[in-house]
Amino acid sequence: MKLFILFFIGASLLFVSCVGPGKNHQKTSRRLDTITNINQLETKKRAVYKNKKNEYYIMRHEPDPRDSLEEEEEDTIQLRENSGGQRHTSFKFVSENKRCDSDKFDGSIRKGAKLSISPSDSEIFNTLTALINSLEDTAVMAAAITSNSVPRITAEDRNVHIKKAWLYAYSRQKDEDFHVIIGNTKKPYASTKYFNIEISGLPANNASSFTKIRDARITFLSKATEELCESGYFFYEKPLRIAVTGSLFFDKQHHGDDIGPASARPPTAWEIHPITFIKYY
C-alpha cells in the first residue's frame, strides 16, 4: 500500500511538472493573439510574437511621432546646407524616404561618420552605466560639430564594448537604421538608465565597414525582423540580455530634443553608431 501511495504521489508530481507550463502558455494565448508579422503589433498594441526561429516573445507597441518625422526633417536640412546653410522662404518638393525601401543606408546627415568604424582599440565596460559616465559633455560636443558633413571628431573616435545591457525596444527608421533602446537593468525601474544604439543601414558593398555592419545587422535581426515597416517602438516585455560593440557617435540632430519612446527615453544625444557586434544571451 505504501509503495502504491509513493508511486501515486510521484506520478502526480510528474504530471504537474509537465502540464503546468502548458496551462500557463494556454492562459497567455487566450489573453493575447499570437502573430508572425511584427507589423501587426502596431494595431494590436500587445501580442505574442513568433519569429522565424519559432521563438515566442510577448511584445507591445509604443508610437513615437518624433522619430517618424526624422528623415523628412533630415531632407530639409540637407537642402538648406546645399543652399549655403541659409534659410529661405522658397520651398522645394522632396521625395520622402520610406521604411523598407532596401537595407541600404538612406540618410545624409554625417553619413560618412555614421557608416565608418573607429580604428581605435576597443574599450571594455562592464556595464552601460560605466560607459555613460565616460562620455564627453553634450554641450561641448554640440559646439564642436559645426556642420552636417563633419566626420568623426576626436571624442567620437572610440570603439566601446559593453559586457552587460538589456535590449528593451527597437524602431526602424526611414534611413533604414534601427534605433535600439538599451537599459542598464533587466526590467524597468524609475532609476533605469536608457541609451540609444543603432543597427545601421548598410554602406556600399565595397566599403571597408560593410562586413562588420552587415554581420551585426544579421545577428540583430535573428530575434527582430527585417520585415518591420511600421513606425513606432516595438518592446520586449521581458528585455533581452545582450553584449554589444560599436563606435561612439554624437547625434547633434537630437541634442536638446527627444529621441526614443516616452516610456524609455535616453537623456542624451550620445549613441553607439554603428554597431559592429551584438550577442544575445
**Which pLDDT score is estimated for 68?**
47
Q: Indicate the Cα dihedral angle 120, 121, 127, 129, nearest 10°.
A: -30
Per-residue pLDDT of 103-150, as tens digits, reads 999 999 999 999 999 999 999 999 999 999 999 999 999 999 999 999
**Which pLDDT score is estimated for 5?**
43
* Dihedral sign, Cα of residue 202, residue 208, residue 209, residue 212: positive
CB 195 within 8 A of CB 244: no
Joined grid coordinates for residue 28: 497567455
Q: Model-level pTM? A: 0.82
Per-residue confidence band for 280, with pLDDT thresholds at 50, 70 and 90: very high
Joined grid coordinates for residue 27: 492562459
As a whole number of angstroms, the distance between CA 62 and CA 56 comes to: 19
Average pLDDT over residues 197-203: 98
Cβ neighbours, 10 Å, residue 11 = 10
As a whole number of angstroms, the distance between CA 245 and CA 211 comes to: 14
CA distances (Å), origin 193, targets 68, 131, 159, 263: 23, 11, 20, 12
As a whole number of angstroms, the distance between CA 226 and CA 219 comes to: 11
Cβ neighbours, 10 Å, residue 258 = 13
**Which pLDDT score is estimated for 233?**
95
